[in-house]
Every structure is written in C-alpha cells, then in structure tokens.
Amino acid sequence: MLLRNPARQVDVDGPLRANALIAHLGLNRESVLVIRGDTLVTGDAVLGDTDVVEIRPVISGGAR
C-alpha cells in the first residue's frame, strides 16, 4: 500500500488493519483520520497492498 501524508510517502506491506497501520507509524488513533481513496475508513478496515491511503490530522473547531 502507498501511504500518503503531506510530509512524506511510505510504502507499507498489506494487508493490514487501519489501527495496526496507525500503531506501526507511532501515531495516536484519536488524533488522525485514515482515508483510502476518497473514503474515510474505520480502524478495523483492512487495507490492501494496492490501496492508496492518506493519514490526516483531526482538526476541531467551531463557532464562538
């Protein structure tokens, strides 16, 4: 699978669950979103060798 992140691109062997990928990268599951193609995936989603995945930080905000 190809992992895309604004700061880097990494090749990671799959299949691998999204939660396992996040742990492998040393990231906090609560602070990132995993996107496969154009779809947000859950932590138990299985990511394959040919998937293109993007890890995005969770950004919160709102009106005051």
In a domain, 51, yes or no: yes
Cα distance between residue 7 and residue 16, in whole Å? 22
Contacts of 32 (CB under 8 A, 6+ apart): 22, 55, 56, 57, 58
pLDDT value for 45? 96
In a domain, 25, yes or no: yes
Inside any domain, residue 23: yes
From first to last of its 64 residues, the chain has per-residue pLDDT tens of: 666 666 677 888 889 999 999 998 899 999 999 999 899 999 999 999 888 888 888 887 766 6
| Residues near 8 by beta carbon (within 8 Å), at least 6 away in sequence | none
Work out how many domains the chain is built from and give that number: 1
Range(s) of the domain holding residue 39: 2-57
Start-to-end Cα distance in the chain: 41
In this structure, is residue 48 part of a structural domain?
A: yes
CATH number at residue 25: 3.10.20.30
Question: Residue 12: inside a domain, yes or no?
Answer: yes
